[in-house]
Structure 1
Amino acid sequence: MPGGLSCAVVLLLEEELLAPVVVLLLNCLLCPSPEQRSHTASRFIIVGPAYFSEQLTKQPEAKDSENPLNKRDGSHHCRLENAVSHHRRWIDGQARKPSNQSKNGGMENCYTVARTDDGLTLALDAVNYGLVTCAFFGVGVNLVVFLRRVLHQGNAEAANNISKWTGTVYIFSLLGAFVSDSYWGRYVTCTVFQIIYVTGLIILSFTSWFFLVKPSGCGADHAFCNEPSTAGVALFYFSTYMIAFGNGGYQPSIATFGSDQFDETDPKEARSKVAFFSYFYLALNVGSIISNTVIVYYEDQGEWVMGFWVSAVAAVLALVLFLIGTPNYRHFKPSGNPLTRIAQVFVAAFRKWHTKVPSSGDLLHEVDGDASRITGIRRILHSEELRFLDKAATITEEDYAAQEERMKDPWRLCTVTQVEEVKCILKMLPIWLCTIVYSVVFTQMASLFVEQGETMDTEIGSFHFPAASMTLFDILSVLAFIAIYRRVLVPAMARLSGNPEGLTELQRMGVGLAIGMAAMVVAGVVEVERLKRVEVPDQPSSMSVLWQVPQYTLIGASEVFMYVGQLEFFNGQAPDGVKSFGSSLCMASISLGNYVSIMLVSVVTSLTDKDERPGWIPGNLNSGHLDRFYFLLAALSLIDLAVYVACAMWYKGIKLDNGDEKKKAMAHV
């Protein structure tokens, strides 16, 4: 399961909301009523995303006299234009809070259906995201087995192909975040990429049905299908990478789109926002459990086509649910291309390289209102880090002499907010780079863990337990450790540190790195013991697959600390203009982790597979040394943890213009 697993289920566990939500989820799954929604969906598909992008961002024009951004008070003489309150966001010239509680925002209306019953509305929204997750893992969690049994790939080749595919899923999240923040907005981005996602699943289902799973029902247990045709393999890769493109582009925008419906400055809305993320992540877990148990079980029995079709239908239902809520959503106008703004800061700083930066941040340039080049975001206060970038906001005599002309040249003079936006991104990058090694560890759960499990005894009594279904213990571990963290660790750490949250985001991420390292050590020890119990070289070991439970459990525990903390950190520290980019950093970390895993597997294979030696990861793991690869990952994790601690101690958080630090991370782990 990808990072971002449900720390926010904590709210459900503490307030005893889990049971009624699950009941509502089941009711919605059994009674989707698609007939009543077909008109809205068909109308949307015909009209197209461009129409909705234009209509949904239209707002009534505010009179100039009512616009507080037109006011000037003349203070801070060095500024070309003075700043005013940014406690309200601006959308197409009209001032309003991020969420109108009485109309389109608030807890009741942020979900994907019209207001009828609040509980049903909440459950349907959970089903929406849960179905997307169920569809994705219905394909992805057992894909390494499909590659081996249906496409006849070896262990190393299949593991690398899974890493490439998973990495592509999350690298496309950067593209989705870019178009969402810059041009399309979150609603249109979510819709377009969901349509691509559904199309890919349908093509995959047809391809498997007509070209790959021959004879019907092949690929069960350790049985192999006929050699696939070239056309079938080509369509398979085309469809799976279309799925990667659609899901990757959709993921970074959907969470941010939901949070857009709330006003974080309102205490009630802030709590509702926490509840939103709770249900959001609960849906992810429920969808994952369904795909990791029911769908995977039938796929392992050779029912690949049925499993893919179930995933496709789930994705279609999710798209319909999303479209139904269109009239109730709150939309924010995109803030423009962030890459251009970033380039402007570097160019302006370079052009003023010999200019002395003022000692006080109050002497740097800042504007507001219509003159601001970044629409729809709050101002960021000046910080003392990376001072060389402040040259871009330093006002020179030349700027005073040609004020009007220079204000129109963003490549010479930038605002403090624009400079701080670049600083925020640069300061987050070292932390982000340190998360990549953890993603290398995490990605083994979808590849080498499954291949290791297939070489173990998967019979539990008279029941066959598919190796891919072992990820169920990862999900259960996530839920269990959330409760342990919230009810045991938070109170204890709060007393020791004085922080009511127990651990900061950076501290949690550090703990996650350490637990991930321990998971690799345990996986290596299990592999050592498995090899000792191999009786026939080409047959599975007599060691039960349940011995993998500890390594899956540790991975789940590490997710609670690492990925949940990472999601909160990057989402909270990202400026308003690059919110989706902040969310996409988590997914980009997983993407690069997969690509680094590919590189490591390839390098290890080339170095160890020499002189007729089988290497560490051969086609038959019984003749290899997978344990050494796990121990190598543990050593790399230890080095990464040391570097991470140094980066976390250096980091300072973002500050907004209301004087509050926005989810400021502690300076140590």
Structure 2
Amino acid sequence: MDLTLIISYSILGVLIVSTLVYIFCKRNYKIIYDHRLLFVIGLVFSRSLTYYAIVDNLMWYLVDHNEPFVRSTVLSNIQESLSSLFVIIMAQLADSYVGRFRTLMFSTTAFISVMILLLIFNPYDVTWLVVIILVLLALGRSGDNLLENVFNDLVNEVDKSENRNKERSYARATLWWNIASASGSISATMWVAMDSLGGAHTTWKSSFWTFLISMTATLMIFCKGHGLYHQGELTHRPIVIFFRVIRARIHELLKSKSQCSTNTSTQERSQERNPENEGITPKRSPLGEMDQGDRCYKEDLKVLPSLLRMFPLWGTFFVVSLISAVGSTFYTEQFDNLENNDKMPVQIYNVIQDFSCFAIPFLYKWTCFRHNQKLKIGVGMLCSIISCTFAWQLEIHRLKELRNFADEHAETSISFLWLVPQFIMLGFMEGLTESGLLTFFWSQVDKPVKNYGEDYMEIVMCLGKLANIGLMLILKSWFDPETNNDTRLDKYYRLLVCICSVNLIIYCCIAICFYKDTNQDHSSSHDDPHQHD
């Protein structure tokens, strides 16, 4: 395993150096500054600080407060699933009813409410209070996409440089977004989180006070720049279009079947007398009667086929989201008995994972097949197999050493660094599959829904995270309700390796056969899918 560790850290070093070199080479292309950006950057920082310190490690927080292992896993996955589901709901509210600014106010206020509840109450004395905290955390997390859209539009507005275009403005907004997020993650790891690297002896209560003050202050600054956040006319979201067309299609299908047996002869005679009417549908569609007319119906019919065409690919992404759910729960729990685990914050692994997720798309752009999005997704799925394999082998060694200790919380001789390879591969998986699938989505769908690929992907991620709970219930004999030391995570990881392998084979068949005539090798970033019309 020594060779594996050397290879993993070499890859991480290459990622760091290559990313810094890439940013330096593109500094004139990507860097822009305007004081108005600070209204949003502060809020991005405070949200990132909260994510890394508690939200992304909710299971670790629950276990630290004596919650059973299985219950902590289920609660953490429920919170993540709700976050993905609420992304669609919050987007619907922002673009159809109340606007992005008010929706973001509601989302951030939900975060602040959680911190107040955690400071005042002990959430484990009353079950309903736990439910409220999970829902509020999910509502807070679901506003990320909206905040990113607000920031992209703001950068595009303040960018007055020569040869400005929306693609360049988006690249500059992404750079500032990543800088603010990285600053929040570093601050959480160094000073705010439990067992922080900076040597500060923090407690959960002091961390909650830090989150509450920073979130409240940055929200007030964000509200100060209210006049800078411009949004176009509120329109119906494509998710409404999707369900509306499905309903109309079912309605038409049922109506046509009921009329088919009684009106066949009459329709044939009518067509013989009026041959010039062939190909013309004289009746209004049911959708036109239910909504505002045939124009809306025709637009929906134009969008729906391209959206349905993405379903096979989304089906394979389901397994990727399952592995992400495992990474945020079981991967973190493996840290419990490793050497020096009480001297390192568990958030360090989230930083490694997110940096790998951020860096690998830049590294992929330097390859000769950088425009092949199908291959990019396939490589990401291969990384999921490698990540689960690393976790499987580490768990075998961890359980083997624990059998020699009477204390279930005893510290093994396995270094905490052995967790790094599987988190690196987990970041590779997320970075390649999500960016590849999103770019592929932009190249496949029509413009009315091109802006909402991330929203639709969140639905698949919601189902994948719930699948982790389902597998735990099916394989409950492998999981000890109280502690992970008597849990057969090695068997579970081995099962995931098999599932990921089968999923990769299925993906290859779908990519080769179903999308073989698809012109997916051209990035659609020039169509500016991030900017709402």
Relative distance call for 1:279 and 1:509 in structure 2 (3 A) is farther
In structure 1, distance between residues paired with 2:207 and 2:445: 38
In structure 1, distance between residues paired with 2:69 and 2:294: 55
1:310-459 equivalent positions in 2, closer than 5 A: 310-336=210-236, 338=238, 340-346=240-246, 349=249, 396=280, 398=282, 410=292, 414=296, 416-458=298-340
State the AA in 1 paired with 2:220: V
State the AA in 2 paired with 1:200: V
In structure 1, distance between residues paired with 2:209 and 2:18: 33
Relative distance call for 1:346 and 1:600 in structure 2 (3 A) is closer
Residue in structure 2 matched with residue 161 of structure 1 by the alignment: 75
Once the two structures are superposed, what CA deviation does each residue of 1:52-90 show, in whole Å capped at 9, x if it has no partner? Answer: xxxxxxxxxxxxxxxxxxxxxxxxxxxxxxxxxxxxxxx
Residue in structure 2 matched with residue 67 of structure 1 by the alignment: none
Q: Is the 8 A contact 1:293 1:469 kept in 2?
A: no
Relative distance call for 1:346 and 1:465 in structure 2 (3 A) is closer
Once the two structures are superposed, what CA deviation does each residue of 1:5-53 show, in whole Å capped at 9, x if it has no partner? Answer: xx9x998752429999xxxxxxxxxxxxxxxxxxxxxxxxxxxxxxxxx
Residue in structure 2 matched with residue 273 of structure 1 by the alignment: 170
226, 229, 238: which is aligned to 2:125? 229
1:174 aligns with 2:88: yes
Relative distance call for 1:560 and 1:286 in structure 2 (3 A) is farther
In structure 1, distance between residues paired with 2:358 and 2:464: 24
Q: Is the 8 A contact 1:137 1:291 kept in 2?
A: yes
RMSD, aligned CA: 3.9
123, 133, 142: which is aligned to 1:239? 133
In structure 2, distance between residues paired with 1:167 and 1:406: 35
State the AA in 2 paired with 1:154: P
Q: Is the 8 A contact 2:338 2:415 kept in 1?
A: yes
145, 164, 169: which is aligned to 1:252? 145
DSSP-derived class of the 1:623 partner: coil
Relative distance call for 1:554 and 1:325 in structure 2 (3 A) is same
Following superposition, the deviation at residue 168 of structure 1 comes to: 1.3
1:493 aligns with 2:501: no
Following superposition, the deviation at residue 445 of structure 1 comes to: 2.4
Relative distance call for 1:397 and 1:618 in structure 2 (3 A) is closer
1:192-203 equivalent positions in 2, closer than 5 A: 192-203=106-117
1:562 aligns with 2:433: yes
DSSP-derived class of the 1:179 partner: helix
State the AA in 1 paired with 2:226: T
State the AA in 1 paired with 2:473: S
In structure 2, distance between residues paired with 1:160 and 1:339: 28
In structure 2, distance between residues paired with 1:410 and 1:351: 17
Q: Is the 8 A contact 1:182 1:336 kept in 2?
A: yes
Q: Is the 8 A contact 2:152 2:169 kept in 1?
A: no
Q: Is the 8 A contact 1:107 1:269 kept in 2?
A: no
101, 115, 119: which is aligned to 1:187? 101
Once the two structures are superposed, what CA deviation does each residue of 1:142-171 show, in whole Å capped at 9, x if it has no partner? Answer: 322322232x22222211211111211221
Relative distance call for 1:334 and 1:409 in structure 2 (3 A) is closer
1:584 aligns with 2:455: yes
DSSP-derived class of the 1:543 partner: coil
State the AA in 2 paired with 1:601: M
Residue in structure 2 matched with residue 285 of structure 1 by the alignment: 182
1:553 aligns with 2:424: yes
Residue in structure 1 matched with residue 275 of structure 2 by the alignment: none
Residue in structure 2 matched with residue 3 of structure 1 by the alignment: none
Relative distance call for 1:627 and 1:274 in structure 2 (3 A) is same
44, 55, 59: which is aligned to 1:129? 44
Residue in structure 1 matched with residue 274 of structure 2 by the alignment: none
Once the two structures are superposed, what CA deviation does each residue of 1:630-654 show, in whole Å capped at 9, x if it has no partner? Answer: 1111111112222223333424779
Q: Is the 8 A contact 2:392 2:493 kept in 1?
A: yes
12, 22, 34: which is aligned to 1:14? 22
Q: Is the 8 A contact 1:653 1:662 kept in 2?
A: no
Q: Is the 8 A contact 2:193 2:202 kept in 1?
A: no
In structure 2, distance between residues paired with 1:451 and 1:172: 27
Relative distance call for 1:631 and 1:321 in structure 2 (3 A) is farther
**Gapped regions of structure 1 (runs ≥ 5):** 1-6, 21-105, 109-117, 213-227, 356-393, 495-501, 609-614, 665-669
Percent identity between the two aligned chains: 19
Following superposition, the deviation at residue 588 of structure 1 comes to: 2.8
Structure (1 or 2) with the greater helix fraction: 2
State the AA in 2 paired with 1:590: M
Q: Is the 8 A contact 1:204 1:235 kept in 2?
A: no
Residue in structure 2 matched with residue 628 of structure 1 by the alignment: 491
1:144 aligns with 2:59: yes
Relative distance call for 1:518 and 1:406 in structure 2 (3 A) is closer
In structure 2, distance between residues paired with 1:572 and 1:162: 34
Relative distance call for 1:433 and 1:189 in structure 2 (3 A) is farther
DSSP-derived class of the 1:297 partner: coil
Q: Is the 8 A contact 1:458 1:467 kept in 2?
A: no
In structure 2, distance between residues paired with 1:284 and 1:346: 39
Q: Is the 8 A contact 2:68 2:482 kept in 1?
A: yes
DSSP-derived class of the 2:235 partner: coil
Q: Is the 8 A contact 1:519 1:554 kept in 2?
A: yes
DSSP-derived class of the 2:309 partner: helix
Matched residues, number:
474
In structure 2, distance between residues paired with 1:158 and 1:481: 31
382, 396, 399: which is aligned to 1:528? 396
Relative distance call for 1:347 and 1:482 in structure 2 (3 A) is closer
Once the two structures are superposed, what CA deviation does each residue of 1:102-149 show, in whole Å capped at 9, x if it has no partner? Answer: xxxx997xxxxxxxxx35444554333122121233222332232223
Q: TM-score, normalised by structure 1?
A: 0.62
Residue in structure 2 matched with residue 517 of structure 1 by the alignment: 385
